[in-house]
Structures are given as C-alpha cells and as structure tokens.
C-alpha cells in the first residue's frame, strides 16, 4: 500500500496544497510550519479520525469546511475523499467517499493502513491509561472492523447504566433496574476484552525480537494487558501455543465484578469496572519499564512496539502500511536512528524533521525532500 498524492483545501494551516510522494519522503522545516498538519491529513484518510482533536478544529480560520483527497495504490488506484462542513447540523457534517461512492467513515479502517509514530508516544506509558487504551483501540479497529462497532455499542450501554446509577443515587431509580444493563455491558465488554487479549498476544509474539533488533539488547520486552474485570490465566493449548480465555469466561468474570462493584457504583453514580477502566503496560526483563527502564530503553521499546504493529497489520491485511514519523529522529541517539532506518526498510515512509542532520544518511539517500515554510511545501 502506498499513498501517491494528497490534496488539501482549508485544512488546518493550509489554504491549498497538492503534494506527491515517493518511497522515501522527508519534510523539513521549523516548528509551526504545517508539517504535522500534513501527516494528520494522511492519517485522517486512513482511520477516519484524528490523533489530535475534532474536525471543527481542523477547518482553516474563517472557512466553513475542509477537504482532503488522497490517491492511494494497493495494486490498483483508489481515491479517498474526506470532507467536513462545520456549519451543517449541530456538530457539522462529515462526508467520506471512496472512488466517488459515499461510505461511512468506518469504511476507511483497514482500507489504507498506516502506522503513525510521534515523540508523544514515547511518553505514552508514563501518561494516562486512557491513552494506552486508545492506542489498542485504534490498532484493533484497523485490523478488525467489527471491533469499532463493539466499542460504540459498549459506550452506549455504559452511558445508559451510568444514567441509571445516577438516578439511583438521587433516589429516582431502583437497584433491580441495573440487571438489564449489567448483562448488556458484560456482553459487549467481554468481546472487547477478548479482542484486546488476543491483540496483546500477537504483539508479544514479535515484541521481544523487535526490541533486540532495535536496541541490540538481549533483555526481554513484554506487553501486559490488565483488565479491570479480573486477571485471566493463559492456558497452554494442545499445539503448545498459548490460548486466551473464551468470551463466555470473560463474560462470567465481568458480570461477577459488576455485582461485586455494585455498591460502590451506586455510591459514586458511575461504573467502576470494565474495558473503559483497563490498562496496558510494558515490562523489560519482568520489570515495569516506566519505573525501572532508562530513557534509551524506553525509546527502543516504543520503536519495537511500532514494529510489532506493522507486523500485525501485514499479517491481518496482507498490506504493508505507510509509516508516518513526526520528528521522531530528534528523540533518538545516532545508533538508534541507524537501527530504526534498517528496521523500517521496505515500506513507504514519510518523515518530518526540524533538521536534516537528524535524519540518517541511508534514509536521505534517494528520498524526496520538501521544505515546509508558511504552510507551503517546496521540493529541494
């Protein structure tokens, strides 16, 4: 999979832009010159949502809409259009078209895969659990279209259960009315937990080797998913591999936790257990990397995680994702830069930087290089 060209109209800082891409692409420029905005536009046409903010914030000042057109190639040409009209309806109107036909935004998932890598993600495991859950959710939605549907269903039931809890707290509801919502929440939540467990197992299948590839270190890196509905034992299968718990087993554990937490939920007016409260962590040689890892080890771990994501997308979709890297090289020492370039060979790469000297010479060789200045790109 490759992106050949993108056109922007009234998007962020760009009034109008058209740019073509080769196999290796470098965009150099000072901060606030529009480099990240361009990567965001590409990302939007891949997953249908931003990594930064809502669509209304992306419309150029004093304009009422933005438009993105991407030409991609997955063996045959494909045109993706993403239009947002700010002043239509209560929350604006989003229109997605693929080859001229209107589609739901969810149709973008899995169609044009890309992996986005920013310095912010290097600190992801030091930040809030919600960011780590979001990371899992986006990756799962890329490889499983049904997963995003389950997330929506779960969020709706969670909203209804919380409304019932608030009614009980105010003396306007009955505890018995929670049983309906408990069952539905456990049903959708069990599917989410099952998929997350499966994803973490897939990540771990390659994570250790990818870490060694990047860090040249024999320490073992592992991701651990921590469901709030209980710790699940991993059972060896007959084939000698590992098998995660079934949806029914998770459902039973989830329902039990909801009953156990009911008094607390009614006292707080909110649901305190479920996939919306889960966490995921990285362990290096059995120790939490946020507490015991060096800054260099942590950077290598995030790069290894990105490599594992690429492996999973390749395996599930049969496509090599486009790699978007936003000023990542400035965060790495020279040796890790070299290892990063070697690890990401063989796929289309679009890199931003404030200084070309931060980019490894092997990546610069044969690359299309643009200078970003005042939200305009000039090939140099």
Q: What is the three-class DSSP state of 127?
A: coil
Residue 210: the pLDDT is 92
Those residues with Cβ within 8 angstroms of residue 1's Cβ, 6 or more apart along the chain or in another chain: 72, 73, 74, 112, 113, 319, 320, 321, 322, 348
Confidence grade of residue 317 (pLDDT, cut at 50, 70, 90): confident
CB 208 within 8 A of CB 181: no
Contact at 8 Å (CB) between 124 and 135? yes
Q: Please say if the pLDDT value at position 122 is more than 80.
A: no
Which three-class secondary structure state does DSSP give residue 328?
Answer: coil
- Of the pLDDT bands very low, low, confident and very high (cuts 50, 70, 90), residue 343 is confident
How far apart CA 319 and CA 114 sit, in angstroms, is 10
The domains located in the chain, with CATH, are 1-113+319-380 (3.40.50.300)
Question: Residue 361 pLDDT more than 50?
Answer: yes
CA-to-CA distance for 99 and 2, rounded, in angstroms? 16
Average pLDDT, the chain: 90
Tell me, rounded to whole angstroms, the distance of Cα 167 from its chain centroid.
35
Question: Mean pLDDT across the stretch 124-146?
Answer: 90
Least confident range of 2-6, 120-124, 154-158, 300-304: 120-124
Which pLDDT score is estimated for 119? Answer: 76
DSSP H helical ranges for the chain: 35-47, 119-122, 129-143, 145-169, 178-215, 247-260, 262-268, 289-292, 295-317, 334-343, 361-364
Mean pLDDT is highest, among 30-34, 48-52, 265-269, for 265-269
Between residues 369 and 107, the one the model is more confident about: 369
How far apart are alpha carbons 276 and 67 in whole angstroms? 33
DSSP-assigned states of every residue in 28-43: E--TTSSHHHHHHHHH
Residue 110: left if φ>0, alpha if ψ -120 to 50, beta else—which one? left
* pLDDT on residue 223: 95
Bridge partners (DSSP) of residue 16 are 9
At 240, the pLDDT band (50, 70, 90 cuts) reads: very low
Report the relative pairing of strands 14-20 and 77-85 from DSSP bridges: unpaired
What pLDDT is attached to residue 242? 57
Q: What interhelical angle do 145-169 and 129-143 show, nearest 10? A: 140
Query: In the structure, what pLDDT confidence band is assigned to residue 340 with cuts at 50, 70 and 90?
Result: confident
**Could you give the percent of the chain with pLDDT greater than 70?**
97
Looking at residue 241, its pLDDT comes to 52
Region 24-39: mean pLDDT is 94
Rounded to 10°, the helix 178-215/129-143 angle is 90
Give me the sheet containing 349-353, strands edge to edge.
Answer: 114-117, 322-326, 349-353, 24-28, 368-373, 376-379
Residue 359 makes CB contacts below 8 A (sequence gap 6+) with: 26, 329, 337, 351, 353
pTM: 0.88
Query: Is the pLDDT reported for residue 339 higher than 90?
Result: no
299 pLDDT higher than 50? yes
Which of 159, 123, 136 lies closest to 289 in space, CA to CA? 123
- pLDDT the model gives residue 125: 85
CB atoms within 10 A of CB 366: 9
Instruction: Return the DSSP state at 121.
Output: H
Contact 314, 342 (CB under 8 A): no
How many CB atoms within 10 Å of residue 180?
A: 13
């Amino acid at each position: 999979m490759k992106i050949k060209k993108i056109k922007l109209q009234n998007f962020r800082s760009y009034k109008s832009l058209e740019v073509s891409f080769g196999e290796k692409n470098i965009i150099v420029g000072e901060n606030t010159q529009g480099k990240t905005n361009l990567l965001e536009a590409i990302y939007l046409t891949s997953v249908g949502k931003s990594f930064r903010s809502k669509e209304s914030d992306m419309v150029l000042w004093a304009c009422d809409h933005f438009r993105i057109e991407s030409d991609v190639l997955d063996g045959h040409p494909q045109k993706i259009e993403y239009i947002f009209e700010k002043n239509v309806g209560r929350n604006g109107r989003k229109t997605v078209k693929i080859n001229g036909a209107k589609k739901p935004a969810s149709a973008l998932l899995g169609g044009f895969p890309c992996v986005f890598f920013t310095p912010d993600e290097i600190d992801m495991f030091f930040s809030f659990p919600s960011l780590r859950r979001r990371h899992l959710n986006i990756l799962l939605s890329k490889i499983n279209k049904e997963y995003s549907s389950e997330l929506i269903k779960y969020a709706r039931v969670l909203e209804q259960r919380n409304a019932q809890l608030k009614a009980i707290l105010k003396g306007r509801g009955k505890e018995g009315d929670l049983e309906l919502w408990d069952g539905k929440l456990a049903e959708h939540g069990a599917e989410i937990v099952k998929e997350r467990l499966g994803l973490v197992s897939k990540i771990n299948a390659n994570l250790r080797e990818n870490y060694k590839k990047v860090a040249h270190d024999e320490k073992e890196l592992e991701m651990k998913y921590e469901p709030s509905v209980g710790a699940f034992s991993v059972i060896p299968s007959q084939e000698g591999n590992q098998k995660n718990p079934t949806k029914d087993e998770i459902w039973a554990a989830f329902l039990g936790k909801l009953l156990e937490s009911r008094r607390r939920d009614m006292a707080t007016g909110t649901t305190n257990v479920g996939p919306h409260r889960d966490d995921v962590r990285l362990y290096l040689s059995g120790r939490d990397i946020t507490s015991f890892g060096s800054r260099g080890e942590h950077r290598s771990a995030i790069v290894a995680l990105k490599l594992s994501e690429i492996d999973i997308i390749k395996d599930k979709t049969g496509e090599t994702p486009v790699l978007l890297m936003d000023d990542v090289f400035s965060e790495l020492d020279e040796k890790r830069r070299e290892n990063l370039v070697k690890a990401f060979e063989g796929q289309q790469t679009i890199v931003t930087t404030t200084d070309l000297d931060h980019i490894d010479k092997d990546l610069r060789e044969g690359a299309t290089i643009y200078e970003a200045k005042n939200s305009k790109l000039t090939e140099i």
